[in-house]
Every structure is written in structure tokens, then in C-alpha cells.
Structure 1
Amino acid sequence: MNVAIISVSKKGYELSLSIKEKLDSDSTIIKTDLYHKNVKKYLPYLFEEYDAIIAIMASGILIRSIAPVIESKASDPAVLNIDDNGKFVISTLSGHLGGANKLTQKISRLIDATPVITTSTDVNRKLGIDVLAKDLYLSIDDSKEILFFNKSILEDKEISLVINPDKNYNYLFEYLSNNTLEINISINFSSKVNPGEIHATLDDHRMILREREIVAGLGCRRGKECEKIYEALKSSADELGIYLSRINKLASAEIKKDENGMLELSDKLNIPISFVEIEKLRLFESQDIQKSEFVKSKFGIYGVCEPSALIMAGFDSQLIYKKTSYDGVTVAIAVSK
């Protein structure tokens, strides 16, 4: 998640510095940029360029400033509102699909503030269909149906989730089993459903949830054991809040194609691994990747795990977990658009 923090007062700016310092050490936050004053000038740009906006200012200023640029719950960034004293963190826009509710909880813990969340499913301890999609990195084919399904969930109506019997959906079962929010669902199987899709149905309403491609990029010291690479990947997935069975592909540089630890991990998890050509890595450009002069001096490229993940996740993919090191193993995770 790329986060912009915008403030208007001196006290608000000092709070934004404190929040940035804390977020910079969070592997799920790719970058955090600060903006100060000129709210009406900056906000249209921030809406286009960032996944989340944290606005430290009076709610009236924020609401008047974002009103002209709001488009859709499917595309608007998460917007949080914090008072200058850091007492309250308010999830203001895109609570579910944009991730504002979860980010509100995170920021509240970081600054010891009170989170304010008003979405109906959350306050009634229900699992919204859009929350399920967001948590599992599923795209929604028709966001207009979200209201119908969430209203039905609030009324405790049974939603049918239809999946392909030949596809591994362990991540879905684990997620539903471990979730503390309530949802009344049945799981049904049909070969008519494409692998990687989940069809939610009720009465004459249907919503198709499609897996976005999740790729875990890996790097390691020569001869690293499978178990060590597994532990690093598992730690990263846990921090990100995904299950290993949700990862579609592993990736690394072609210089690692004979690393037994990676090959064994691919077999162990039954997840295919791809090795990206050095020339592709050398030519790849992204503002989000971390450049390593050490890797450049050894292999002629600035990185392995981040660019490998982004390349294999496809055009316009984005990092959701930046390069993190675990005793000789590096992990980065990207998702397709």
C-alpha cells in the first residue's frame, strides 16, 4: 500500500512525521509520502497516485476537498481523517475495498488513538462480501451488487459460494474458518465455474469474484535450505494476512534456477516457480523497488525478489509486501491489477 499523509497545521505535520516513521518499518506499506497545506491542490493528485490518504485536519476541510474527486467505491483510495491531537482516527472513505477500515485499526494502534468505523457490517460484526474480496485479493465483476449482498448478510440470509471442484480453494476454507465475523454461507461445487473464480449467488443476484495473481518473489544466499526459505515466506504471508495456498506463483532470477531450496519449496507447496531472465530484470523500472548496490556489483541488477515478483505478476501489478530479509532469505510479494 502506498500512503500519502497530508496535514495543514504545525501540530498535524509533527504527527504526520511520527506516523511516517512507524509506517516505514511496516513491510506491508510500500512507501509513505508527506504533504503539507495546499489541500485542494494536492488531493486530486493524491487520489490518482496513492492507495490511501491520511488527512490530519478538520473533517469539514477534508470532506469539502474530496467531494469533487470521489468516483466509486471500486476505485477510490482509502481516506482516513485524524484530528491534530491524534485522539481519533476516522475511516472516511473506501472502508472495505479501499482498505480504510483496516488501515484505521493499524494507525490507531500505532498512535494509541480511538478508531472510528461506521460501516454497517463491521459495527454489526458481520463479514461483508467486499471485505472477503479485499482480504483474499479477489476482483469483483459488478460492484453494484455489493449493496444487495451485504444487506442480505446483515439480514442473515444464506449466500451460496460456488467454486470449481478441481481447483485448490484451501485459502477460502481457512479464511472462513478463522474469521471472527459472521456470515451465513454454503459452499457448492460446479465444473461450470472457471478455476480461480468464486460465484456468490442469492435469489436472482450473482457476483463473480476472480483471483488476482499473487506472486512471491524470492532471493537467497547460495545453498539456503528449503525449510529456511519456507519459514521466511510463511512469516511474510502471515504478516500480510494471506494463506500460502492463495499464492499463485513463486519467482526469482534465472541465476537462482539451480537453487535446490527454492525448487524443493515449489514442490512442497505445489506452487509453480518461474525464473526471470537477467536482461528483463536489468531493464525493469519501478519507483517502488529497493535498489541494492551489493546485488548490482555481483549480478549487474539492482534486485531480485521485488522485480521478479512484479514482472511475473504482469503489467501494472503492484507490490503488497516490500523486500524483507530473513537470515539470508529475501521475500517480496506482488499482486496483479
Structure 2
Amino acid sequence: MKIAIISVSEKGKELAICIKEKLDNDSTIIKTDLYHKNVKKYFPLLFNEYDAIIAIMASGILIRSIASLIESKATDPAVLNIDDNGNFVISTLSGHLGGANKLTNKIAKLISATPVITTSTDVNNKLGIDVIAKDLFLSVNDTKEILFFNKAILEGRELSLTVNSNKNFNYLFDYLTKNTLEIDVSIKFSSKIKTDEIHVTLDDHILILKERKIVAGIGCRRGKECEKIYHGLKKSIDELNIDISRINMLTSAEIKKDEQGILELSEKLNIPVEFVTLDKLKLFQSNDITKSEFVKSKFGIWGVCEPSALIMAGFESKLIYKKTSYDGVTISIAISK
């Protein structure tokens, strides 16, 4: 998640700096940028460039600033509102698909504030269908149908989830079993459903949840054992709260194509591994990757795990876990659009 924090007062600016310092240590936060004052100029620029905006200001200023920018729950960024004293963190926009509710709880915990969340499913201790999509990194084919299904969940009606009978969907079953929020679902199996889709149906309504491609980029010192690489990968996905079975591909640079630890890990997990050519890595550009002068001087590329993951996840993919080191192993994770 890329986050912009914008403040209007000096006290708010101090709080913004404090929040940034805490978020910089979180591998699931790709970057945090600070902006101060001049909200009329900044908000239109930030709205489409960041996954989340944290506005430290009066709610009236925030609402007037973003009103004309709001388009859709499928595309709008998460927006949080915090008072200057850091007493309350309010989930203001894109609570579910945008991740504002979860970010609200995260920020509130970091600064010892009270989280304020008003979405109906959350306050009624129900699991929204859009929360399932967000948590499991699934796209939604028709966001207009979310309201119907969430209303049905609030009314205690049973939803039918249909998945392909030839695909392992343990990550979905485990998620539903372990989730403490209430939802009534039945699971059906059909070979006619695409293997990367989950069909949610009730009455004559249907919602298709489709797996977004998740790619784990790996860098490591020469000769790193499979178990050491697995340890780094497991720590990373645990921080993202995703099951190992949701990883669609492992990847690294072609200079690692003979690395036994990576090859063994691919075989052990039954996840394909692809190695990106140096030519592609040299041409790749992104403001989100961590640049290594050492790697640049040795191989002519700025990095291994982050650019490899982004390239293999496809056009307009983004990082959901920045380059993090685990005893000679670096892991990053990217997701398709």
C-alpha cells in the first residue's frame, strides 16, 4: 500500500511525521509520503496516485476537498480522517475494497487512538462479501452487486459459493473457518467454473470473484538452503495474512536460475518459478522499487526480487510487500491489477 499523509496545521504535521516513522518499518506499506497545507492543490494529485490518503484535519475540510473526486468504490483510494490531537482515526472512504477499515485499525493502534468504523457489516459483526475479496486478493466483476449480497448477509440469508472441483481452494475454506465475523454460506463444486474464479449466487444475482495473480520475488546469497528461503517467504505471507497456496508464481533474476534452494522450493511447494532476463530487468522502471547500488555495480540492474515480481505479475501490477531481508534472503510480493 502506498500512502499519502496530508496535514494543515503544525500539530498535524508533527503527527504525520510520527505516523510515517512507524509505517516505514512495515513491509506491507510500500512507501509513505508527507504533504502539508495547500489541500486544493494536493488532493486532486494524490487521489489517483496513492492507495490510501490519511488526512489530518477537520472533517469538513476533507469532505469538501474530495467530494468532486469520488467516483467508485472499485477505484477510489482509502481515505482516513484524523484530528490534530490524534484522538480518533475515522474510516471515511473505501472501507472494504480500498482497505480503509483495516488501515484505520492499524493506524489507531500505532498512535493509541480510537478507531471509528461505520460500515454496516462491520458494526453488526458480519463478514462482507467485499471484505472477502479484499482479504483474499480477489477482483470483483460487478461492484454494483456488492450492496445486494452484503444486505443479504446482514439479513442472515445463505449465500452459495461455487468453485471448480479440480482446484485446491483450501485457502478459501480456511479463511471462512477461521474468520470470527458471521456469514452463512454453502460451498458447491462444479467443473464448469474457471479454476481461478469463485461464483457467489443468491436468487437471480451472481457475483464473480477472480483470483488476482500473486508473485513472490526472491533474491538470495549464493548457496542459500531451501529451508532458509522458505522461512523468509513464510514470514512475508504471514504478515499479509495469506495462505501459501495463494502464491501463483515464484520468480527471480536469470542470474539465479541455477540456485538450488529456489528450484527446490518451487518443487516443494508445487509453485512454478520463472527467471527474468537481465535485459528485461535493465529496461524495467518503477518509482516503487528499492534501488541497490551494490546490485547495480555487479549486475547492471537496480534490484532482483522487487522488479522480478512486478514484471511477472504483469502490466500495472503493484507491490503489496516491499523488499525485506531475512538472513541473506530477500522477499517481495507483487499482485496483478
TM-score interval, normalised by the smaller of the two chains? over 0.9
Q: Determine what percentage of the aligned residue pairs are the same residue.
A: 77
* Aligned equivalents of 2:115, 2:146: Cα separation in 1: 24
**Structure 2 runs not aligned, ≥5 long:** none
Alignment of 1:173-188 (within 5 A): 173-188=173-188
The residue that corresponds to 2:276 in the other structure is 276
Q: CA deviation at 1:191?
A: 1.1
Aligned residue number for residue 90 of structure 2: 90
After the TM superposition, which residues 298-317 of structure 1 pair with which residues of structure 2 at under 5 Å, given as runs?
A: 298-317=298-317
Superposed structure 1 runs of 4+ greater than 6 Å apart: none
Distance in structure 1 (CA, Å) of the matches to 2:324 and 2:240: 12
1:58-98 alpha-carbon deviations (Å, 9 max, x no partner): 00110111111100111100000000000000000000000
Q: Tell me the TM-score normalized by structure 2.
A: 0.99
Q: Residue 324 of structure 1 aligns with which residue?
A: 324
Alignment correspondent of 2:18: 18
In the TM superposition, residue 297 of structure 1 has moved relative to its aligned partner by 1.9
Cα-to-partner distance string for 1:16-36 (whole Å, 9 max, x where unaligned): 000011111110000111111
AA aligned to 2:77 is: P
1:103 matched to which residue of 2?
103
Q: Distance in 1 between matches of 2:222 and 2:173?
A: 36
Inter-partner Cα distance in structure 2 for 1:179 and 1:245: 18
Deviations 1:124-143 (A, max 9, x none): 11110000000111000000
Partner of 1:171: 171
Match of 1:71 in 2: 71
Tell me the amino acid that sits aligned with residue 145 of structure 1: E
The corresponding residue for 1:198 is 198
- Partners of 2:316 and 2:64 lie apart in 1 by 31
Find out whether 1:44 has 2:20 as its counterpart: no
Q: Which residue of 2 aligns with 1:31?
A: 31
How many matched pairs? 337
One-letter amino acid matched to 2:16: S
Give the partner amino acid of 2:174: E
How far apart are 1:299 and its partner, in Å?
A: 1.6
Look up the SS of the partner of 2:207 in the other structure.
strand
Aligned-residue offset at 1:208: 0.3
Structure-2 residue corresponding to 1:114: 114
For structure 1, the 5+ residue unaligned runs are none
The CA distance in 1 between the partners of 2:300 and 2:37, in whole Å, is 42
CA RMSD of aligned residues (A): 0.7
Measured in 2, the distance between the counterparts of 1:268 and 1:30 equals 29
Under a length normalisation based on structure 1, what TM-score does the superposition of the two structures give? 0.99
Deviation at 1:156, TM superposition (A): 1.0
1:231-242 mapped onto 2 (5 Å cutoff): 231-242=231-242
Distance 1:255 1:177 in 2: 42
Between the aligned partners of 1:231 and 1:160, the Cα distance in structure 2 is: 36
Is residue 2:289 matched to residue 1:289?
A: yes
Distance 1:71 1:30 in 2: 24
Tell me which residue corresponds to 2:123. 123
Give the SS at the match of 2:95.
Answer: coil
Letter of the structure 2 residue corresponding to residue 232 of structure 1: G
Q: Distance in 1 between matches of 2:176 and 2:264?
A: 29
Aligned-pair CA distance for 1:115: 0.3
Question: What's the counterpart of residue 189 of structure 1?
Answer: 189
1:294 Cα deviation (Å)?
1.1
Deviation, structure 1 residue 178 = 1.4
Which secondary structure does the structure 2 equivalent of 1:69 belong to? coil
SS at match of 1:109: helix
Query: What's the offset of the Cα at 1:170?
Result: 1.6
Equivalent residue letter for 2:186: S
Rounded to whole Å, the distance in 1 between the matches of 2:98 and 2:167 is 28
> What is the CA–CA distance in structure 1 between the aligned matches of 2:124 and 2:237, rounded to whole Å?
28
Q: For 1:274, what is the secondary structure of its paired residue?
A: strand
| SS in structure 2 of the partner of residue 281 of structure 1 | helix
| Letter paired with 1:101 | N
**SS of 2:67's equivalent?**
helix
Post-superposition offset of 1:214:
0.3
- 1:200-246 per-residue CA deviation (whole Å, 9 max, x = no partner) reads 00010000000110000001111111111111000000011111110
1: CA distance, partners of 2:236 / 2:74: 27
Equivalents in 1 of 2:142, 2:284: separation in Å? 33
Alignment pair present for 1:55 and 2:55: yes
Distance of 1:34 and 1:296 partners within structure 2 = 29
